[in-house]
Amino acid sequence: MSDSAEVVIGVDMGTTSTKSVAYDLGGHPLASRAIPYPYRVPRPGYAEQDPRLILDAVIKTVAGVAADSGRKVRAVSFSSAMHTLIGLDRDGSPLTQVLTWADRRASGQAERMRAAPGGLALHRRTGTPLHPMSPLPKLAWFHEEQPDLAAHVRHWVGIKDYILLELLGVLITDHSTASATGLLDIHLLQWDPEALHLAAIRADQLPELVPTTKILPGLRAEAAQAMQLPAATPVIAGAGDGPLANLGVGAIRPGVAACSIGTSGALRLTAERPVVDQQGRTFCYALTEQRWVIGGAINNGGLVLQWAGDALAPEFGDGREDQLLAQAATVPPGSGGLIMLPYLHGERAPHWSTIPCGVYIGLTRQHRRPHLIRAALEGVCQQLALVLESVVAAGNEVREIRATGGFARSALWRQMLTDTLGMPIGFPAQHEGSSFGAALLGMDALGLVTIDHAADLIRIQETLVPDQAAQQTYADLRPTFDGLYDALVPAFRALRRMRPDLPLA
């Protein structure tokens, strides 16, 4: 690709904000706008958003970067948070709020489906873990808990599907978004009959399935005017933010994984066909029909450090994060035999359960605040190491890892992750992640570039290698860390029964 007088806008509808970035055809960002929005917690375990606020953020950020770039907009391509669910009436108006991936109201339905005789087989067909994040258990929850509302829903969609309906007047969902619903047979690229039965919905209540590179018809006149774009501007269906994050950091070739730690965390590997872990520990989502992302997300990333600040160092003021990390750096790897299971918000991969809670194991009189802080950070890294082991156990080779996220600002945490995962990690220079992935996918759809070349556009700023002694320490601790989950399940269940304010799994 080379510079030109045109841009492709990548739109990333995230959990906390929508960010639009205009890229020239050489992949350079020229303009960026972001608008945040809240999510509501009307009851414990709920996590909702107003779809109209997200629509407004999309329109305003696209209009802003289109004007700021000063160039012709060649296309607009979309990324969105995965696992969202909205019920629409016959006119396409929302009957529900957006249920986000963090909404846990369907914990009971998810655990019931997971424990059923066909639960593992369903996971293998759909590539989506049976977890309350997924639309499948959420749909069952609506059928069981709000049947009158469910009866009035004409279509069930995700947030990107709703946005595209508003902007273009077409009801479609891309294969990537659909592959994260728990309703799609990823091997056939068709809605799964058993999943539809469990969800108590019909196939005609879901959008039409299209490839992620589908070029959609023109914008509605009012949408084009609001976004200050010609109505004929091509719009690319796009994909989920997780697969597009791999594309955005260049982790697109076989054997190259992407790892991120923000508020939560994830580790994902790109493959050329659907690959499902036979034990149900990983997900498998589409990027394109020839590229699939295998891996797992964890609920507890940077928020564990935030918790440590609130609970262990409330007296720290500005610069709290730096002070916490400085204290953790005074303790050697392994935290003096102290382990933390960082399950403050339940956990996703590889256990996929809302049951667990946070635990410190091995606490003695010799342990002090720095040990507690470091053990919390090490717990996050160990959980990602379990995801990596699950990906490899499913028959995948991982030769290289590229890592991004807020944690990368800390030299301590960067090295800790490298030592725990036990292989070199490359840290890309500044990038926009999923919005860049969306733009690259749009360029691929228009024939301007192939996604195979995406890795060539990413500059690795730093590569770390494991410290052998620290790597061995973490490897020796990992079997104990891993085994604690199963050993503590009875205690987790007993404690959960004592918390009536939380969804009971």
298-348 confidence digits (pLDDT tens): 999 999 999 999 999 999 977 899 999 999 999 999 999 999 999 999 999
Calpha distance 455→436 (Å, rounded):
12
Average pLDDT over residues 4-24: 94
pLDDT band at 4 (very low <50, low <70, confident <90, very high): low
Evaluate whether residue 360 is within a structural domain: yes
Evaluate whether residue 441 is within a structural domain: no
What is residue 504's predicted lDDT score, i.e. its pLDDT? 44
Q: For residues 10 and 107, state if they share a domain.
A: yes
Q: For residues 211 and 305, state if they share a domain.
A: no
Evaluate whether residue 77 is within a structural domain: yes
Q: Is the per-residue pLDDT at 265 higher than 70?
A: yes
Look up the domain containing 337 and give its range.
300-395+467-497
Evaluate whether residue 416 is within a structural domain: no
CB atoms within 10 A of CB 362: 16
Evaluate whether residue 424 is within a structural domain: no
Strand partners, 185: 190
Evaluate whether residue 287 is within a structural domain: no
- Domain end, chosen from 249, 280, 313, is at 249
Q: What's the mean pLDDT when you consider all of the chain?
A: 95
Evaluate whether residue 452 is within a structural domain: no
Evaluate whether residue 275 is within a structural domain: no
Q: For residues 343 and 244, state if they share a domain.
A: no
**145: domain CATH number?**
3.30.420.40
Q: For residues 233 and 349, state if they share a domain.
A: no
pLDDT band at 500 (very low <50, low <70, confident <90, very high): low
pLDDT digits (tens, 9 = 90+) for 405-455: 999 999 999 999 999 999 999 999 876 789 999 999 999 999 998 888 877
Distances (CA, A) of 215 to 78, 211, 218, 247, 443: 11, 9, 9, 19, 11
Calpha distance 181→374 (Å, rounded):
36
Q: For residues 306 and 377, state if they share a domain.
A: yes
- Domain end, chosen from 220, 249, 278, is at 249
How many domains in the chain?
A: 2
Query: Would you put residue 418 in left (φ > 0), alpha (ψ -120 to 50) or beta?
Result: alpha
The answer to whether residues 112 and 198 touch, using CB atoms and an 8 Å cutoff, is: no
- Domain end, chosen from 214, 249, 284, is at 249
Calpha distance 404→380 (Å, rounded):
15
